[in-house]
Amino acid sequence: MAITIQNDTGLITLATCNTEYQMKTDEYGVLLHTYYGAKIYGSDMSETISCRERGFSGNLTVGREEIRSYSLDVLPQEYSCAGSGDYRISGLSVLDSNGGRSCTLRVAGTRTEKGKYSLEGLPHVYDENGEAESLVITMKDPYSALEAELQYSVFEKSDIITRSVRFINNGSEAIQLEKAASLCLDWQFGDYDWLTFYGCHAQERNLQRVPLHHGVQSIGSTRGNSSHHYNPFSILAEKNTDENSGLCFAFSFVYSGEFLMEIEKDQVSQTRLVLGIHPANFSWKLEPGMSFQAPEVILSCSSEGFGKLSRNMHKIIRDNVCRGEWKYKQRPVLINNWEATYFSFDAQKLISIAEESSKLGIEMLVMDDGWFGKREDDYSGLGDWYPNEKKLGCSLKELGEEINKRGMKFGIWFEPESISEDSDLYRSHPEWAVAVPGRDPVLSRNQLVLDISRTDVQDYIIDRMSDVLSNAPISYVKWDMNRSICEKYSASLSADKQGEFAHRFMLGLYRILEELENTFPHVLFEGCSGGGGRFDAGMMYYTPQIWCSDNTDAINRLNIQYGTSFGYPVSTVGAHVSAVPNHQTGRVTPFATRGAVAMSGTFGYELDITKLTDAEKEQIRRQIQRFHKYYELIQRGDYYRLTSPKDPCVIWSFVAPDKNSALITAVSREITANSAPVHFNVPGLDDRRLYNAVFVLPEADDRPLKVIEKISGAALKNGGLTIPVVQWWEYEAWQVEITAAD
């Protein structure tokens, strides 16, 4: 039983294999949050709460009687509201029809359900194997008609809890939700660091670890999407936590739009985290009888450090967020023509790339931006999703068939949510572009945003894309979105509902994706937003892989993929080998290193293969063989970060879940003369079993350069391995293959 409710004491416990989460309804109907952490076997942790009078804190008032030692301002609560006497950051803020901004919630009932609750129209964790149990706690505002259902699902074996909230207006007048967070979580004790993942275009998800200080710290996005700038994933950790030990908590927002993740360390050094849709551009008019569903948050807790925490997140996203035919199916090794040709290509060029690629084992050609409308550069064409047969020199069907004839699948790029002013679509429907009346809209990459909060616009995209996908042999779609959204305004919404635009935009996006994927279940959808601008668990529900960054430099990618690995599995990470000098950094790295780094992702190429030397082509052939050989291990194995990306040598490993094998990759990021040997430990194998370890330089012909026979899993973990070279060169890569010797 993952969920236990004790009606006599009010104690509610959510138990996973290694963790417990506890709440308690107290004598006033307030839902206290009493514990989240390692196992406590059902003990009532409300004993840790000490109530005393706090100056200037709002105290609970029953009738007109003030209970002076009971203040919501300092009590750990499950879901706190603004205007309740709790002056800390809170989950909910409402505006009543009378202009009042007070709200408070009391427990009105609980119910449990087998399986996972589901969220209509929103991405969410799902449960195919009957692992989950769910709990709904009904909360009511004693003074208004507002009801909130706190939703929880427990994935016991996976150490995962999901949370969300549904708001219902049971009254006869509208209630305005000004903030409707999905998660509010309190820690009474502890001194924490916060790990967040900041960045920018082409340099996403840099890890930042900072101590919490008194006051409020926050990350978020008001850019209309989750953004390159702050990922909607973070970790709270005790000070001593490292990869292999220490208590830490993960929070992943299953949402691709604007978000706010705030943490407050309060007057008595307690910690509160609130996560949800960013309130800056949000307000929702909850009409009588209507409900509002907040997006979902995935929570995990590990007392074995960040490594275990990440593996929990990898598993739940891989198995219970990513969906569809391509969830586990072997994804094709692709070649994308973007960095090879940019906008200058025709069918002949693409066919010549396909011709060469298929000889080397590449399985799919992806035609990127520039195949439709009038699109010779980024000034025009977006919205006109009609193949430009004049430019291509043939129809899309003919092109796809030519690619197929060469033994390759055919994929295609779209940017459905954008519109160019210089497009037939804009000329016929200027009102479909997002803009505030009377103001010139802000341009970005010379383009505007299409108002997909509108059903007619959603239908247009579904119709156009369906037409293209039905009339050519297309196996893959790269779904791009190349700007942030400045104006949060829709011509189809009344003035009092403009605050709903940003969220309605996301609901529109999710509806389009859902419909297209139901109609074209065999098509593999890859997400993209100028690389990793929408790299979140929400998009992963629709697109099981996402182009991780527009930065293809193998050395920069070490950092990007490292940061990404804290919250997301390798099977979601789009990674390609590109040409040198690299187009983003000008750096020259060995072909083998580019392969070794891209291989820790969904793997593909992004270069003009017709211009490569025979030796490079031979490397491609062997890289693909290696990738296929290790496909399961890489895509489904347990991921271990063995160093930081700031170390001179960056090392990571994959360990098979049955502990039969492992693959380690090491890249020399920065070399100094006469350096110390590169040594690393290999955790995750079976202590008592014996293994063989084979060192290879992936650039050579895969001949073993050193073999260690019959070394125990314990020796690999505790004693480790040393790269067997006297001098290692900058940017060189090594791989070590470990297989069971028994």
Active site residues: 536, 616
**Nearer residue to ligand DGJ within complex by CB, 220 or 530:** 530
Q: Does 528 bind ligand DGJ (CB under 6 A)?
A: yes
Least separation in angstroms between residue 449's CB and ligand DGJ is 15
x-marked contacts with ligand DGJ along 348-387 as a string, rule CB under 6 A:
--------------------xx------------------
Residue 617 gets which letter from DSSP?
A: H
Among the listed residues 224, 307, 531, 698, the single contact to ligand DGJ using CB under 6 A: 531
**Read out DSSP for 329-349?**
SPPPPEEE-HHHHTT---HHH
CA dist., res. 387 & res. 402, Å (int)? 16
48 — phi, psi (to 5°)? Answer: -85, -10
Total chain residues near ligand DGJ (CB under 6 A): 11
Q: Which stretch binds ligand DGJ (CB under 6 A): 456-464, 525-533, 693-701, 714-722?
A: 525-533
Stretch that binds ligand DGJ, among 163-171, 225-233, 279-287, 527-535 (CB under 6 A): 527-535
What pairs with residue 133 in β-bridges?
Answer: 114, 154
Half-sphere exposure of 344 (CA within 13 A, CB side): 3
Q: Which of 381, 387, 530, 563 binds ligand DGJ (CB under 6 A)?
A: 530
Is there binding between residue 338 and ligand DGJ (CB under 6 A)? yes
Are the C-beta atoms of 672 and 648 separated by less than 8 Å?
Answer: yes
Q: What is the DSSP letter of 471?
A: T
Question: Which lies closer to ligand DGJ via its Cβ, residue 306 or residue 338?
Answer: 338
What minimum distance in Å lies between the beta carbon of 574 and ligand DGJ?
9
Pick 482 or 484: Cβ nearer ligand DGJ: 482
The residue sitting closest to ligand DGJ, measured at its beta carbon, is: 369
Which part of the chain contacts ligand DGJ (CB under 6 A), choosing from 65-73, 237-245, 395-403, 524-532? Answer: 524-532
Residue among 272 and 391 whose Cβ is closer to ligand DGJ: 391
Q: How many CB atoms lie within 10 A of CB 536?
A: 29
Least separation in angstroms between residue 417's CB and ligand DGJ is: 13
Phi-psi sector, 58: left (phi>0), alpha (psi -120 to 50), beta:
beta
Find the shortest distance in angstroms from Cβ 575 to ligand DGJ.
Answer: 12
Joined together, the tokens standing for residue 77 give 């609560």
Tokens of 375: 């699109």
Tokens matching residue 531: 């690389």
Of 192-200, 392-400, 509-517, 526-534, the window that binds ligand DGJ (rule: CB under 6 A) is 526-534
Q: How far is CA 385 from the centre of its chain?
A: 28
Nearer to ligand DGJ, 36 or 338 (CB): 338
Give the binding range for ligand DGJ (CB under 6 A) out of 94-102, 131-139, 528-536, 714-722: 528-536
Rounded (5°) CA angle 253-259-264: 90
Q: Tokens 């035609």 map to which residue?
A: 367
Site for ligand DGJ in 395-454 (CB under 6 A): 413
3-state secondary structure 231-267: CCEEEEEECCCCCCCECEEEEEEECCCCEEEEEEECC
* Residue with smaller CB distance to ligand DGJ, 480 or 732: 480
Q: Does 203 bind ligand DGJ (CB under 6 A)?
A: no
Nearest approach, Cβ of residue 554 and ligand DGJ (Å): 16
- Look at residues 106, 157, 109, 102 and name the one whose alpha carbon lies nearest to residue 129: 157
Window 205 to 244, contacts with ligand DGJ (CB under 6 A): none
Please list every residue from 623 through 682 that binds ligand DGJ, using CB under 6 A.
none
Whose CA is closest to 210, among 270, 263, 274, 269? Answer: 263
> Which is nearer to ligand DGJ, 46 or 388 (by Cβ)?
388
Using alpha carbons, list the distances in angstroms from residue 389 to 370, 406, 426, 471, 515. 11, 21, 21, 14, 27
- Residue closer to ligand DGJ by CB (options 162, 602) is 602
Q: For residues 320 and 482, which CB has a smaller minimum distance to ligand DGJ in the complex?
A: 482
CB of 485 to ligand DGJ, least distance (A): 16
Q: How many residues does the chain have?
A: 742
Structure-token pair, residue 304:
């074995």
Calpha distance 145→109 (Å, rounded): 16
Q: Nearest distance from residue 201's CB to ligand DGJ, in Å?
A: 9
- The phi and psi torsions of 136 (rounded to 5 degrees) equal -120, 125
| CB closer to ligand DGJ out of 83 and 532 | 532
Which span sits near ligand DGJ by CB under 6 A: 112-120, 235-243, 523-531, 732-740? 523-531
Least distance to ligand DGJ from the beta carbon of 480, Å?
A: 5
| Per-residue contact string for residues 547-576; x = within reach of ligand DGJ by CB under 6 A | x--x--------------------------
> What is the Rg, in whole angstroms, of the alpha carbon atoms belonging to the chain?
27
CA distance 124 to 160: 13
Which of 110, 300, 482, 551 forms a contact with ligand DGJ (CB under 6 A)?
Answer: 482
Report whether 322 contacts 353 (CB < 8 A): no
CB of 666 vs ligand DGJ, minimal distance in Å: 28
For residue 588, what are the contacts with CB-CB under 8 A and spacing of at least 6?
580, 581, 582
Least distance in angstroms from the C-beta of 124 to ligand DGJ: 26
For binding to ligand DGJ (CB under 6 A), which residues are involved? 338, 368-369, 413, 480, 482, 528, 530-531, 547, 550
